[in-house]
């Protein structure tokens, strides 16, 4: 060995940090480089890594991540979910690294802070392939109201029935009628829905989440009978009510062509729309829109596969240093300084502290606005001016009140029916938007839709879905029986 040669510094140290390539979703931020530099200064000393973050636009994220995955391009971490860069599909394609062993070795902090449903629900064949962002564990449909219009027209939430699904919406109709009569001439949309909205009924769990694709079960204990939700009377009742609203002028004529309803919300041109709730969401919505938004629940929160996989960080199967990636994810979910730095930016520049755990934005905040739900444990983040002191305690209380679906943890592998799935997806693209916005008469178009689905092979898809669910349910039952047997044996030993 040459005595003059320089010693090789081990990768993953402050002197030779490992570069973590991280793809996430959102809008490019002007001040990301300076925040990333600040984070890297901290991470080099802490665990010997640096971040290389790329933010991909909301509308392009799914397509770009698919291209990256298919090409085998090297990266470390990425945002995945039930609605973009689909967690189940990418896992079944072999794109993500199995994390259970890494969690046990380097992720003990994650295991301590995550809601147990976040660790059990995303498992595929017993293995977990992504770390959910610790936040609301359930999903709850709500109707959002422009509070100014509600007050101006003499209505309040006492006029409506909460947590009653379609009956809640029916009690809101008198308000929509008044909005149309008194504000329609000002361009106000009484009930704002759009192209990608899908119904979530309180008594149905959807196998493919919020996509609107056929495949569901009624939420009942030990019920594993697959149905096509579009053929149920509950679903059809919603379609007919929406069409009635459309004909009465409560829904915009171009609703089926609107890609994103946020523009209507930000322009204050709506009276009521739909949203997915989390505790104190009204505060965040109001701050974002610049006026007061309040919400009214359509039904109780439900824990579903969509909700537990709604925001996750996965590791690439091609990651060179899974150990260091997991060490970073553990820190991201347990370190208050790092978590708030990545979400809010630099103290004194992007925000200032107004208390030990409370901040207010400074003008430079406009140069660094991150999608906080993509960045790990929300329970570590600072409170904003409108947040109550007990915000995170209320989150936990709300999570505890949620009802878990009996198929929580079942994730269908579509590979055996991939070609049929592609055909079914194409059919849904032709019909879903028009039906779900009330644009067309369901009594005419729903039979056409069902016929097209059958031609595409939906019956075979549902049969395969049922086969996989039956197998999963049996395994689950056997596991529960085994745990009960072990518990009984343990009790008998203690008695002796």
Measured CA to CA, the distance from residue 345 to residue 34 in angstroms comes to 9
CATH topology of domain 18-136+308-403: D-Maltodextrin-Binding Protein; domain 2 (3.40.190)
Measured CA to CA, the distance from residue 44 to residue 28 in angstroms comes to 24
Q: What is the mean pLDDT of the chain?
A: 92
Ranking 120-134, 201-215, 418-432 by mean pLDDT, the lowest is: 201-215
Annotated domain spans of the chain: 18-136+308-403, 141-303
pLDDT interval class at 3 (50, 70, 90): very low
Nearest Cα neighbor of 251 from 145, 171, 173 is 173
Measured CA to CA, the distance from residue 312 to residue 287 in angstroms comes to 25
Tens-place pLDDT, residues 371-416: 999 999 999 999 988 889 999 999 999 999 999 999 999 999 999 9
pLDDT interval class at 4 (50, 70, 90): very low
As a dihedral over the C-alpha atoms of residue 101, residue 104, residue 105, residue 106, rounded to 10 degrees, the angle is: 110
Percent of the chain with pLDDT over 90: 80
Residue 310: count other Cβ atoms within 10 Å of its Cβ.
23
* In this structure, CATH architecture of domain 141-303: 3-Layer(aba) Sandwich (3.40)
Measured CA to CA, the distance from residue 257 to residue 436 in angstroms comes to 12
Report pTM: 0.84
pLDDT reported for residue 395 = 92
Tens-place pLDDT, residues 355-378: 999 999 999 999 999 999 999 999
Measured CA to CA, the distance from residue 71 to residue 448 in angstroms comes to 39
């Amino acid at each position: 060995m040459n005595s003059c040669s320089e010693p090789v510094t081990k990768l993953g140290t402050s002197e030779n940090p490992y570069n973590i390539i991280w793809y996430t979703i959102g809008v490019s931020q002007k001040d990301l480089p300076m925040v990333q530099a600040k984070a890297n200064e901290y991470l080099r000393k802490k665990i010997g890594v640096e971040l290389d973050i790329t933010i991909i636009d909301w509308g392009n994220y799914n397509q770009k991540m698919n291209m990256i995955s298919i090409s085998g391009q090297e990266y470390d971490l990425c945002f995945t979910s039930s609605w973009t860069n689909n967690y189940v599909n990418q896992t079944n394609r072999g794109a993500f690294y199995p994390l259970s062993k890494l969690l046990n070795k380097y992720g003990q902090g994650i295991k301590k802070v995550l809601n147990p449903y976040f660790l059990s629900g995303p498992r595929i064949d017993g293995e977990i392939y992504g770390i959910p962002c610790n936040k609301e564990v359930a999903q709850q449909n709500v109707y959002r109201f422009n509070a100014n219009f509600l007050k101006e027209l003499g209505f309040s939430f006492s006029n409506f029935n909460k947590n009653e699904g379609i009956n809640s919406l029916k009690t809101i109709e008198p308000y929509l009628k008044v909005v149309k009569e008194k504000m329609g001439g000002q361009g106000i949309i009484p009930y704002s829905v759009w192209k990608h909205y899908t119904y979530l009924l309180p008594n149905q769990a959807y196998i493919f989440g919020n996509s609107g694709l056929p495949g569901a079960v009624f939420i009942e204990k030990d019920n594993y009978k697959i149905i096509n939700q579009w053929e149920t009377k509950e679903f059809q009742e919603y379609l007919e009510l929406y069409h009635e609203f459309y004909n009465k002028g409560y829904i915009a004529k171009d609703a089926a062509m609107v890609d994103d309803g946020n523009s209507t919300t930000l322009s204050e041109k709506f009276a009521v729309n739909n949203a997915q709730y989390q505790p104190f969401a009204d505060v965040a919505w109001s701050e974002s829109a610049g006026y007061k938004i309040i919400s009214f629940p359509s039904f109780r929160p439900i824990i579903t596969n969509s909700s537990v996989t709604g925001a996750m960080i996965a590791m690439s199967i091609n990651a060179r240093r899974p150990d260091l990636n997991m060490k970073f994810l553990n820190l991201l979910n347990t370190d208050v300084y790092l978590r708030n730095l990545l979400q809010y930016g630099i103290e004194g520049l992007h925000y200032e502290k107004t208390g030990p755990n409370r901040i207010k934005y400074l003008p430079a905040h406009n140069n660094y606005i991150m999608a906080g739900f993509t960045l790990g444990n929300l329970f570590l983040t600072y409170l904003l001016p409108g947040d109550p002191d007990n915000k995170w305690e209320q989150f936990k209380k709300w999570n505890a009140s949620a009802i878990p679906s009996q198929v929580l943890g079942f994730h269908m592998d579509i590979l055996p029916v991939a070609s049929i799935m592609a055909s079914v997806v194409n059919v849904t693209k032709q019909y879903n938007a028009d039906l779900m916005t009330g644009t067309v008469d369901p009594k005419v178009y729903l039979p056409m839709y069902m016929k097209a689905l059958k031609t595409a092979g939906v019956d075979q898809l549902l049969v395969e879905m049922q086969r996989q669910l039956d197998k999963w349910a049996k395994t689950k039952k056997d596991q529960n029986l085994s745990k009960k047997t072990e518990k009984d044996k343990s009790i008998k030993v203690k008695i002796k």
